[in-house]
Chain A
Amino acid sequence: MTGSEALLKTLEAHGVRHIFGHPGGAIMPVYDALYDSPIQHILVRHEQGGGHAAEGYARVTGGLGVCMATSGPGATNLVTALADAMLDSLPILAITGNVPSPLLGTDAFQEADITGITMPITKHNFLVRNADDVSKTVAKAIAIALEGRPGPVLVDIPKDVQQAQTNAPIEQPKTKPARLEPNQAVIEKAAALIQSAKQPVLMVGGGACDAAPQILEFAKKTGIPVITTLMGLGNFPASDPQWLGMPGMHGSVASNRAISQCDVLIGLGMRFDDRVTGKTSRFAKNAQIIHIDIDTAEHNKLIPAYIAVHADSAAALEALTKHVSKLETPDWWTKLEDWKARQPKRPTWGAAEAIKMISSQLSGADIVVADVGQHQMLTAQLHPFEQPRKWLNSGGAGTMGFCLPAAMGAAVAIGSHDGGDAKGVRVIGIAGDGSSQMTIQELATLRKYDIPVKFAVINNGYLGMVRQWQEMFHSRRYSEVYLEDSNPDFPILASAYRIPGFAADNAADLEKCIRQWLEVDGPAVLEVRVPQEANVFPMVPAGKGLDEMLDDDPKFLEARELAKV
């Protein structure tokens, strides 16, 4: 058996069914072995696309996503996706070829020190020196990617190691390590604190996406309101009256007010990102904070924890739920209901309305993937996420270009391209005119494998989010954000890839288009042309506290007043 075969056999033993990759010189032995392997390889058009696809795959399955690239430029093209997976804690295995061992360190053709380059953006990485170590290393890499707080792991294999013969046994998957249970004394202390709270709130992040049933049970038993961060959307059903929305820069009025005024804040599987906290000195000023996380380095990193619970989020909540009972906080709920009613005022037609119209045609089981920008924040604000692992976006890194390939990975994961068990679950991408163009080449991959992603482009003619900041904080000096003069015609672009395309620039047309677009058997593109200078609100300006949030766009309110006169 060669090193390449050992690699694929190990992946197979670990249940890997798909690899998103792109071949090249230094990984050719693996591609040769792939020819006889039951693992399906999805040929992407750019390695970054392969990386994001693996992220989408991992996010919806909760398992491993695998991507593969050749040495040098192939490997460096994975870098953005690895950094993205690191910040959003996604279990990715990246396999790269490298130049033959004797040439390592000689500036050989297509040599890049990819283990050096990716050291700070992977959970761990390996350079395999010997074919006998391939299986062991790959198994170890997979275990590291999945255990504890998940993350990306890269395995770099020089070409001669891929070719060399080995008799080393194929490693079988390690049994999953036991759930990390919380310390009982700490749980009891936390429960007592919760029980004494007058204005409590539970804030749930992406680390709690396997704890949705426990969150619901805890919330129902205590009556505590629930906030879900950008990464945590869907971990608590949006239709539940106890849900307050998303916190932070573009969070809901209710969430940000609740955080600013609560007396006990439970942070569950979340890491107090600066987009969530705003100015930290003003964050939850009156609260004692209980921080539950499996990564103890997150405790006290940015926000001091009054009680830090080091545990799996489901385990911690189960333990907490046993020790708490219903909290009677009618005054708190009066305030919360009042804040919940305060929704930002929005124009009757625009990006927000378009996203609402798309959203209204979807069910809670469908998967929604956003790109990065205003459309991302609007989707997060407006789509009612009901279930975990149904919302994919680049939260920590904000990587433009994430949407299309991640949606592709999600669709492959649920088997919608091979008549698998997708069970009517649809995968919807919502991107911007700017972001979509960063990985638009993956339309070819959708076509090649008939992956039925429904991809919408919210075209506001601008790098809208940057334009909004320039409008608000740089006195409307629009510097290098205008796209309209050079945007492609998206339906024509789609048809160049032999994918059906639709376009609408008003609500009536959009209504029809959405229906046709969703009915397409296979991939389809929808372009929605919307007014150019709309802003996303509510907004906490950068560097301000959550309590300094602007509920509405003053520009929009003013225009509406003028229109009345």
Chain B
Amino acid sequence: MKHIFSAFLRDEPRVLTRVTSLFARRGYNIDSLSVGATEERGISRMTFIAEAPEHMADQIQRQLEKLEDVLKVINHADEKFVDRELVLLKVRVSPETRLEIRMIAEDFRARNVDVGSKSYVFEVTGDEGKITAFIQQMRPFGIIETMRTGRVALSRGSNADIASQVYGGESTALEHPLSDVGVRA
């Protein structure tokens, strides 16, 4: 099963190496990973997707939270979230295909960001299904190259206490929601 996680990291040297080295040495399968700055100085946010059975997803979260520079990990399986990925895709064009390619792009609300005589570069944003479908549709025309950012995610709803959960003093940010209720079927 695929799990989508958000992790909050301190911007310390090698923090990404610490995270990825943990993934590697514990044998976690990570499909995609993307990192960026947050609204808070000194804190980055990482979205990553892991292919793992339930108990392993739990382990991934807890092992990560043990790292000194990891402030909190959220497993979005437990809540509603939105996720998006951005893709840049360069496709071959010819006078015969130009129009059809443009129409498909329009359907996907893809923006044409580089118009060449032999190729276009599209920028398209969406969830996994949309991105996959777009790439499928472009394939017959000849994709020259693509670059994907990897998925990024946020929880739905106001979620106003997230800051205190991650950085707050009084919060139980570091306490795993399951930590005291380990009842298993």
Residues of A within 8 A of B (CB): 115-116, 119-120, 123-124, 127, 144, 182-183, 185-186, 291, 295-297, 299-301, 304-310
Contact check, A305 vs B184: say whether CB atoms are below 8 A apart: yes
Output the nearest chain A residue to B65 by Cβ-Cβ distance: A297
Shortest CB-to-CB span from B100 to chain A, Å, is 51
Name the B residues within 8 Å of A296 (CB-CB). Answer: 62, 175-176, 179
Which residues 149-185 in B have Cβ within 8 Å of A in the complex? 175-176, 178-184
Instruction: Tell me, in angstroms, the Cα distance from A306 to B62 when the chains sit together.
Output: 18
Find chain A residues with CB under 8 A from B25 CB: 120
Known contacts A119-B21, A123-B68, A127-B13: A301-B180 contact under CB 8 Å:
no
Most chain B CB inside 10 Å of its own CB: which residue of A116, A120, A291: A120
Q: Which of B17, B66, B69 contacts A116 (CB 8 A)?
A: B17
A119 to B15, CA, bound (A): 10
Contact across chains for B59 and A297 when beta carbons are under 8 A apart: yes
Contact residues in B for A309 (Cβ distance below 8 Å):
180, 182
* Distance, CA A186 to CA B68, complexed state (A): 27
Interfacial residues, chain B to chain A (CB-CB below 8 A): 13-14, 17-18, 21-22, 25, 55, 58-59, 62-63, 65-69, 175-176, 178-184
**Bound complex: CA A196 to CA B55 (Å):** 28
Are the C-beta atoms of B63 and A310 separated by less than 8 Å?
no
A124 B68 Cβ-Cβ under 8 A: yes
- What are the residues of chain B within 8 A of A304 when measuring CB–CB? 55, 184
Chain A residue at smallest Cβ distance from B175: A310
**B172–chain A nearest beta-carbon distance, Å:** 11
> Within the assembled complex, what's the spacing in Å between the Cα atoms of A310 and B62?
12
Provide 6 A-B residue pairs closer than 8 Å at the C-beta atoms, listed in order of the A residue. A119-B17, A296-B62, A297-B59, A299-B182, A300-B59, A307-B182
Quick one: closest A residue to B58, CB to CB? A300
Shortest CB–CB separation between residue B15 and chain A, in angstroms? 11
Give A124 to B181 CA distance when docked, in angstroms.
28
Q: Which residue of B lies closest to A144 (CB)?
A: B68
B-chain residues with CB within 8 Å of residue A297 when the two chains form the complex: 59, 62-63, 65-66
CB distance from B24 to the nearest CB of A (A): 9
Question: Within 8 Å CB of A124, what residues of B?
Answer: 67-69
Across-interface contacts of A310 in B (CB, < 8 A): 175-176, 179-180
Please measure, in the bound complex, the distance between the C-alpha atom of A126 and the C-alpha atom of B55, giving whole angstroms: 32
Min CB distance A26 to B, Å, is 19
The answer to whether A306 touches B68 (Cβ under 8 A) is no
Q: How far does the Cβ of A535 sit from chain B's closest Cβ, in whole Å? A: 34
Q: Report the Cα distance A182→B181, complex, angstroms.
A: 11
Q: A310 vs B175: C-alpha distance in the bound complex, in angstroms? A: 9
A300 to B180, CA, bound (A): 12
Residues of A within 8 A of B184 (CB): 300, 304-306
B182-A291 in contact (CB<8A): yes
In whole angstroms, what is the CA distance A519 to B179 when docked?
A: 52
Residue among B18, B59, B179 facing the most chain A CB atoms (10 A cut-off): B179
Q: Nearest 3 A-B pairs (CB), nearest first?
A: A308-B182, A297-B62, A183-B180
- Give every chain B residue within 8 A of A115 (Cβ-Cβ): 14
CB distance from B25 to the nearest CB of A (A): 5
From known contacts A119-B14, A127-B13, infer whether A300 and B21 are also in contact, taking CB-CB under 8 Å: no
Question: A305–B182 Cα gap in the complex (Å)?
Answer: 6
| Contact, CB under 8 Å: A186 / B180 | yes
Known A120-B21, A304-B184; 18 more pairs at CB < 8 Å: A119-B18, A120-B25, A127-B13, A144-B68, A182-B180, A183-B180, A185-B180, A186-B181, A296-B179, A297-B63, A297-B65, A297-B66, A300-B55, A305-B182, A306-B184, A308-B180, A309-B180, A310-B179
**Shortest distance from the beta carbon of A30 to any chain B beta carbon, whole Å:** 22
* Distance of A89 Cα from B178 Cα, bound (Å): 24
Q: Chain B's nearest CB lies how many Å from the CB of A16? A: 21
Query: How far apart sit A305 and B181, CA to CA, in the bound complex (Å)?
Result: 10
Which chain B residues lie closer than 8 Å to A127 at the CB level? 13
From B59, B62, B183, contact of A307 by CB (8 A): B183
Cα(A297)–Cα(B22), bound, Å: 13
Q: Within 8 Å CB of B13, what residues of A? A: 127
C-alpha gap A124/B21 in the complex (Å)? 13
Q: Is B14 within 8 A of A308, CB to CB?
A: no
Q: How far is the CB of B169 from chain A (nearest CB, A)?
A: 13
Are A308 and B179 within 8 A (Cβ)? Answer: yes
Shortest CB-to-CB span from B185 to chain A, Å, is 10
Nearest CB of chain B from residue A360's CB, rounded to whole Å: 43
Q: Which residues of B contact A291 (CB under 8 A)?
A: 182
Q: How far is the CA of A304 from the CA of B178 in the complex (A)?
A: 13
**Chain A neighbourhood of B14, CB < 8 A:** 115-116, 119
**Cβ-defined contact, B66 with A299, below 8 A:** no
When distances are taken between beta carbons in the complex, the residues of chain A under 8 Å from B68 are: 123-124, 144
Complex Cα spacing A301 to B26, Å: 12
> Taking the nearest CB of chain B, how far is it from the CB of A271, in angstroms?
13
* Max chain B Cβ within 10 angstroms of own Cβ: one of A185, A291, A300: A300
Look across to chain A and name the residue whose beta carbon is closest to the beta carbon of B64.
A297
Least CB separation from A298: chain B residue: B62
Distance, CA A116 to CA B13, complexed state (A): 11
Bound CA span A297–B64, Å? 9
Interchain CA distance A308-B62 in the complex, whole Å: 14
B residues near A295, Cβ cutoff 8 Å: 66
Please, how many angstroms separate the alpha-carbon atoms of A296 and B178 in the complex? 9
A301 touches B59 (CB 8 A): yes
Residue of A nearest to B54 (CB): A300
Query: Please, which residues of chain B bring their CB within 8 A of the CB of A185?
Result: 180
Q: Please, which residue of chain A has its CB at the minimum distance from the CB of B184?
A: A304
| CA of A305 to CA of B59, assembled, Å | 13
* CA distance in complex: A277, B69 (Å): 32
User: Shortest Cβ distance from A297 into chain B, in angstroms?
Assistant: 4
Report the Cα distance A123→B66, complex, angstroms.
9
